[in-house]
Amino acid sequence: MSTAPRFDRLLCGLRLVTLADAQGYGLIEDAALGFVGEHIAYAGPLSGVSAAARTQAREIECFDNALATPALVDCHTHLVFAGTRAPEFEQRLQGVSYTDIAAAGGGIRSTVRATRAADEDALFAASLPRARALLHDGCATLEIKSGYGLDVDSELRMLRVARRIGAALGISVRTTLLAAHALPPEFDGRSDAYIEHVCSEILPAAHAAGLVDAVDAFCEGIGFSPEQTRRVFAAAQALGLPVKLHADQLSDLGGAALVAEHGGLSADHIEFTSDAAVQRMAERGTVAVLLPGAFLCLRETRLPPIESLRTHGVPMAVSTDCNPGTSPLLSLRLAMNLACTLFRLTPEEALRGATLHAARALGLKDRGALRPGLRADVAIWPLQDPAELSYWLGGAGPERLYVGGAPVVG
């Protein structure tokens, strides 16, 4: 009798990109993956699977030397919203800046108007195809933020829609409350009062409804001040919720250092982040989330401090920032390409950034690599070289995607 576990699913004919070690792809040729329930029970050479385990596996699938990677994790999206900002895209092409559009009542506020006007089913119908595009690009885990509702009802509606998307597609969705994204018109000139409303009404209501996995804020000249961000973080931490931050995207307000000081999960964007702040991130284990789609669309020129992040050993994640204003990007693989092309990440860093480090930016330790004990979230690609995941601009997604051991795509 074999003592090996009986696999619910055994995949063979694979080349594994395990990312199991601190460096390198962790490539294993002529390999197999065994799943038990929702988890990986075996990841290694096919020769390590006994004949008994092969014959006893409930399902066996053989591939033709396909590449298997951890399923992708998109750790920063704003994909639940109504309407588009295509007209503003045209304005920006005429030379009007993102900041000018925001100051004139457009920008985030125009999406807030459309999102508030949409009922839950309409919002779900508008948003689901965007999540599906990311799924077919290889993502089994998506983070989705609120932040286009800016009142109790509309913020909770956005978060419910995000959770419904996860259930409808059979993938993991992590929800982040971003009520401190922009000042709603009814609070014009009273940003402190709005922050108070976020802390005493919106956050407690969303938390009581069980809809919040983390709390985020937009700390920026056109967003909220470091002092206001501190108040949001204090309220979140009083409820035991992890924090993350849109930090130092357009200017250096010290956002990355602020979120690190709070032991936050991630500092996102960070184009203007200083070396000293990177040091704080390293000390507190705060992940750097790189968002090259927004960098591209805003035609930014100030690069995030990549070399400093490497030197200090800060894990770099890569994400789409999928949103209607600054990054209408529906492919995490394209974000990986942009991270390489624009930020000079290596394809290996980009892949780790869109899997293991992205999971870490969400506080998830159970995914992002191919190792026994981790979730069986696995993408199978018709590719030869793992660098191809960052190399192609567009093209077919994975031929198969397993989420918790079950095929969801292919």
Query: In this chain, which residue has its C-beta nearest to ligand DI6?
Result: 325
Q: Which residues bind Fe ion (CB under 5 A)?
A: 321
Q: DSSP label at 120?
A: H
Say if CB 199 and CB 220 are below 8 A apart.
Answer: no
**What radius of gyration do the chain's Cα atoms show?**
21
Would you say 67 or 80 has its CB closer to ligand DI6? 80
Q: What is the distance, to the nearest Å, from the Cα of residue 397 to the centroid of all Cα atoms in its chain?
A: 18
Q: Does 107 bind ligand DI6 (CB under 6 A)?
A: yes
Question: According to CB under 6 A, which one of 213, 248, 321, 349 is a site residue for ligand DI6?
Answer: 321
Q: What would the x/- binding string for ligand DI6 be over residues 28 to 67, using CB under 6 A? A: ----------------------------------------
Q: Which of 108, 364, 376, 380 binds ligand DI6 (CB under 6 A)?
A: 108
Q: Which is nearer to ligand DI6, 60 or 296 (CB)?
A: 296
Cβ pair 112, 147 in contact under 8 A: no
Q: Give, in degrees to the nearest 5, the angle at Cα 109 between 106 and 110.
A: 60
Q: Which stretch binds ligand DI6 (CB under 6 A): 60-68, 128-136, 167-175, 324-332?
A: 324-332
Contact 135, 77 (CB under 8 A): no
Q: What separation in angstroms does the CA of 115 have from each of 40, 146, 154, 257, 326?
A: 40, 10, 8, 32, 17
Sign for the pseudo-dihedral over CA of 259, 261, 266, 269: positive
Q: Does 216 bind ligand DI6 (CB under 6 A)?
A: no
Query: Per rule CB under 6 A, is residue 242 in the interface with ligand DI6?
Result: no
**If you ran DSSP here, which 8-state letter would residue 6 be given?**
P
Q: Residue 364 CB, nearest distance to ligand DI6 (Å)?
A: 22
Closest by CA position to 232, among listed 249, 250, 214, 248: 214
Residue 324 binds what, of Fe ion, ligand DI6, none (CB under 5 to 8 Å, by partner type)? Answer: ligand DI6
Nearest distance, CB of residue 144 and Fe ion, angstroms: 11
Q: Is 325 in the site for ligand DI6 (CB under 6 A)?
A: yes
Nearer Cβ to ligand DI6 (174/181): 181
256 SS3 class: helix
User: Rounded to the nearest whole angstrom, what is the least distance from the CB of residue 79 to ligand DI6 in the complex?
Assistant: 11
Decide if residue 154 touches ligand DI6 (CB under 6 A). no
Assign residue 210 a region (left: φ > 0; alpha: ψ between -120 and 50; beta: otherwise): left
Per CB under 6 A, residues contacting ligand DI6 are 78, 107-108, 111, 181, 218, 246, 249, 294, 321, 323-327
